[in-house]
Structure 1
Amino acid sequence: MTRSTTDPAPEPGSSSGDPPQPGAGSFRPEAGQGRTRVLLVAGFVLASLNLRPALAGMSPLLNEIMSDLGLSPAAGGGITTVMVVCLGLLAPVAPALATRLGLDRTLLIGLLILAAGVGLRGAGGVTALYAGSAVVGTAIAIMNVVMPGVVKQHFPDRIGLFTGIYVSGLVTGAASASALMVPIEERYGWRTAAGSVAVLAVAAAALWAPQAFARRRGGRAAGGRRPYAMLLRRRVTWYVMAFMGLQSLTFYIMLAWLPTIFRDAGLPADQAGYLLALTNLAQIAATLTVPLHAGRARSQVPHVVMAAVLTVAGYVGVLLAPATLPWLWMIVLGVGQGASIALALLIIALRAPDPASVTALSAVAQSSGYLLAALGPFAIGLLHQLSGGWTLPLVTGILVCGVQVVFGVLAGLPAAARTGQVPDRVGEVW
């Protein structure tokens, strides 16, 4: 029997119109004592801070690494490419681990693999550098995928809040690593600077370990199987995949080329770097606020549209007047891009009915998303080389934003709006 249209609105955070179902270890008063809840949240936050430093912290060290190891610019750029490709190709590893071990232990394994990869990366020559980078990419891929499932499992009635918290941790970790790598390198060398990220990973693993090995009712709540064939038959899966991929593409285009665009417009190199840092800071404001508000809404469409509008406005500002009020364009662009990634990850958590399904949807969305994102900087660079300027590349980026908003709207619609019905059970339509 379906609900009438006069029924009260569902609780925020449900995937298909039903109140959220508490999972094992969910963030409720009866789930444990206050100290246990504090450790859970603290471990979750510290884990989120590890999602980007090992990736973002390499760019400021690239010149020193290339000089020390005799790498060409193409080979130096390959360090980041290896990590981003691994983010896409190895994302499906996470659901397989979660099926056997549960989400909490899978996150712990990701943190330990990250620490090992960071250590390997700076321990030897070129082979160790690339091998360690591949291990780092694998670890980040695992953690990327399981974090939405961890939110669904432990905080089912606070999905918007904790999505905002962990995406903010992701952005904060990236910005902090970018800022700290050069001072550490100047004092201790690039190997110590690059290896310093392992300290954060080990600290997070130590704090998360009690949660990973805790015994609780319900066992491995996220360990249920979710066949990919069934997942891929649902239209919403493809909408979420496309939205995740396209917003990642528009982000990595700007991440790779913004400093060069500003320098070609006549701005000093240091100012170009500060502007890139500014757009990262603006993302934090969006990731803290947008998921909290959007997670309470039945439809995320208005938020998706506004985020795309702001991203396009940032692109247009950089295209038409890169040297005029560049700080304004960076704030607008940062808010738009920060809101977009936060919404993509929030929608993954909202559209699937249980932690296992969230993990599977996260895997397919992030796998396709990062593989697409890896092509963006190369394609834009090629367009710049062929056209001799930045107009064609930036117009292409704006067009991609237009496609992004289409799939974002389709992904942001609740199940009832997409199908014309409200399901009787969680997960019947999503």
Structure 2
Amino acid sequence: MLLLGIVLVGANMRAAIASVGPLIGFIRDDTGLSNGAVGWLTTIPLIGFAVLSPFAPSLARRYGTERTLVATLALMTIGIGLRAFDSVPLLFVGTAGVGIGIAVCNVLLPSIVKQNFINRVGFMTGLYSMTMSIFASIAAGISVPLSQGAGWGWRNTLLVWAALSLLGLLIWLPMARSSLARGGGGAKRTGSGKAANVWKSGLAWQITIYMGFQSFNYYVSVAWLPEILLSHGWSPVNAGWMLSVMQLTGIPFNFLVPAMAERLKDQRLVAAAGALIGMAGYAGLLIDNAAIATVAVILMGIGQSICISLALTFIALRARNATQAAALSGMSQSMGYALAALGPICLGALHDVTAAWTWPVIALLGTSSIMVAAGLGAGRNRYID
């Protein structure tokens, strides 16, 4: 049951956000929002990640991991439902609810894996990371066909993902009740072992920077890749499917990289390679050629999958125990997503100012360069204390 619960939480961690990117143009046209304003639909969840992540370990210690996850999945379900109403304010309020729910899940999963699967950290991280990409790919791929082809409209298309969060809630609910009956947060609580002051650790900051800029690049891609391809003459359906392709091509790496990283004593080469592969993909978007754009999207998917999988694995590998893993997860995801939150809105605004996607793409080349440097530090075989 715990394994299924982890997989379902992973499935919910990207689908509700990835489904928005292909529909950005339709949402903008329907609501009259600017590119900068509509970019908040992918930025607000990231702000939620940044603000809530430091508090997630405390919530889990106080109320128990299972009950905390039930509450956050319920909040996600409500938030997704609010996005379906014909109201711009509720669209943003619902998006905030989704972001808060995902924020807590983001932080708790690495700690749950560290606590319950200490000898299979790489496998379990790969499993839920792969699930994240699979459902993000599905969400991106079916958004335009459902919205336009099936005539559902963008609101009902976004509402579909409430079923997934509700299913996750139903799986975790019996575990939460069992935890309550035992009078605690579960047989294995999120925190155990000595904590470390992660905020004073240089290694923790390197992991945070790596996490932050990979998130920056990913969420910019989710928000604006379809629009970039539309500017090159792609149809909305094909542009949406290319976002799905970006997710799909990385799935094998989501699963393989954590297991490989766990066996390696030093992950610097893998960390740098992931950032460089992604950089090559972003560079390809500067060329107005369909074949090159297709290869570029594939490279983006591979690079992003390597980087997110490795960033999550670093949280477990660089911590000595579950308490340290929770603290490192809270820091890296809080500060990292605060950085990532700047991506969709700032690059959307940059496009509004320049009337082109050239400079936003060049910005992604710069963030990838920073990732290379941070990855060379985070990949060394050390602990945060």
Report the TM-score range of the alignment, normalised by the length of the smaller protein: 0.7 to 0.9
Q: Does 1:246 align with 2:213?
A: yes
Matched AA of 1:129? L
Q: Report the equivalent of 1:257.
A: 224
Q: Distance in 2 between matches of 1:101 and 1:242?
A: 30
**Contact 1:120/1:131 (<8 A) preserved:** yes
TM-aligned CA deviation for residue 400 of structure 1: 1.9
Match of 1:287 in 2: 254
Q: Distance in 1 between matches of 2:190 and 2:233?
A: 52
Question: For 1:317, which of 281, 284, 288 is the aligned residue?
Answer: 284
Secondary structure at 2:266 match in 1: coil
Q: What residue is the counterpart of 1:47 in the other structure?
A: 9
Residue 346 (structure 2) aligns with: 379
Q: Secondary structure at the match of 2:5?
A: helix
Distance 2:129 2:4 in 1: 15
Residue identity in the other structure for 2:89: T
**Equivalent in the alignment of 2:325:** 358
1:181 corresponds to which of 135, 143, 153: 143
Kindly report the root-mean-square deviation, in angstroms, between the aligned alpha carbons of the 2 structures.
Answer: 2.8
Q: CA deviation at 1:149?
A: 0.8
> Counterpart in 2 of 1:206?
170
Q: Quick check: 1:244–1:366 contact (8 Å CA) kept in 2? A: yes
Tell me, what secondary structure is at the counterpart of 1:331?
Answer: helix
Tell me how far apart the structure 2 counterparts of residues 129 and 175 of structure 1 sit (CA, whole Å).
22
1:165 aligns with one of 102, 127, 140: 127
Q: In the TM superposition, what is the alpha-carbon distance from 1:301 to its structure 2 partner?
A: 1.2
Distance 2:31 2:229 in 1: 29
Aligned to 1:49, the other structure's residue is in SS state helix
Give 1:254's aligned amino acid: S
SS at structure 1 position matched to 2:249: helix
- Work out whether residues 262 and 322 of structure 1, in 8 Å CA contact, stay in contact via their aligned partners in 2: no
Q: Give the deviation of 1:411 after TM superposition.
A: 0.9
Secondary structure of 1:319's counterpart equals coil
Q: Residues 99-248 of structure 1: matches in 2 within 5 Å?
A: 99-123=61-85, 125-185=87-147, 186-214=150-178, 219-223=187-191, 230-248=197-215
Residues 311 and 183 (structure 1), Cα distance of their counterparts in 2 relative to 1, 3 Å cut = closer
Map 1:10-49 onto structure 2 (within 5 A).
39-49=1-11
Per the TM alignment, residue 326 of structure 1 is displaced from its structure 2 partner at its CA by 2.4
In structure 2, stretches of 5+ residues that fail to align are none
Question: 1:384 Cα shift?
Answer: 4.5
Which residue matches 2:264? Answer: 297
Q: Are 2:305 and 1:343 equivalent residues in the alignment?
A: no
| Cα drift, residue 114 of structure 1 | 1.1
Once the two structures are TM-superposed, the CA of residue 105 in structure 1 deviates from its matched residue by 2.7
Tell me how many residue pairs correspond in the alignment.
379
Where does residue 13 of structure 1 map in the other structure? none
> Is 2:46 the partner of 1:84?
yes
Q: Tell me if the contact between 1:149 and 1:349 (Cα under 8 Å) persists in the aligned partners.
A: yes
Q: CA separation in 1, counterparts of 2:23 and 2:158?
A: 8
Distance apart, 1:122 and its partner CA? 2.5
The code of the aligned residue for 1:173 comes to F
- Higher alpha-carbon deviation: 264-273 or 66-75: 66-75
SS at match of 1:157: coil
Instruction: Report the Cα distance in structure 2 between the residues aligned to 1:387 and 1:64, rounded to whole angstroms.
Output: 22
Larger CA deviation: 133-142 vs 191-200: 191-200
Would you say the 8 A contact 1:44–1:208 is kept in 2? no
Displacement of 1:398 in angstroms is: 1.7
Superposed displacement of residue 291, structure 1: 1.1
Which amino acid in the other structure matches residue 125 of structure 1?
S
- Greater displacement, 366-375 / 333-342: 366-375
Deviation at 1:154, TM superposition (A): 1.4
Q: Percent identity?
A: 36
Q: Is the 8 A contact 1:114 1:140 kept in 2?
A: yes
Pair 1:250–1:54, CA change in 2 (3 A) = closer
Higher Cα radius of gyration: 1
Q: Is the alpha carbon distance of 1:71 and 1:403 closer, same or farther for their aligned partners in structure 2, counting shifts above 3 Å?
A: closer
Q: 1:333 to 1:297 in 2, by over 3 A?
A: same
Greater Cα shift, 306-315 or 103-112: 103-112
In 2, Cα distance between the equivalents of 1:303 and 1:170? 20
CA contact (8 A) 1:102 1:223 kept: no
Which blocks of at least 5 consecutive residues in structure 1 are unaligned? 1-38, 416-426
Structure 1: distance between partners of 2:368 and 2:375: 10
Change (3 A) 1:398 1:117: same
The structure in which a higher percent of residues are helix is 2
Cα contact 1:312–1:401 (8 A) shared by 2: yes
Aligned partner of residue 39 in structure 2, secondary structure: helix
Give, in angstroms, the shift of residue 235 of structure 1: 1.4
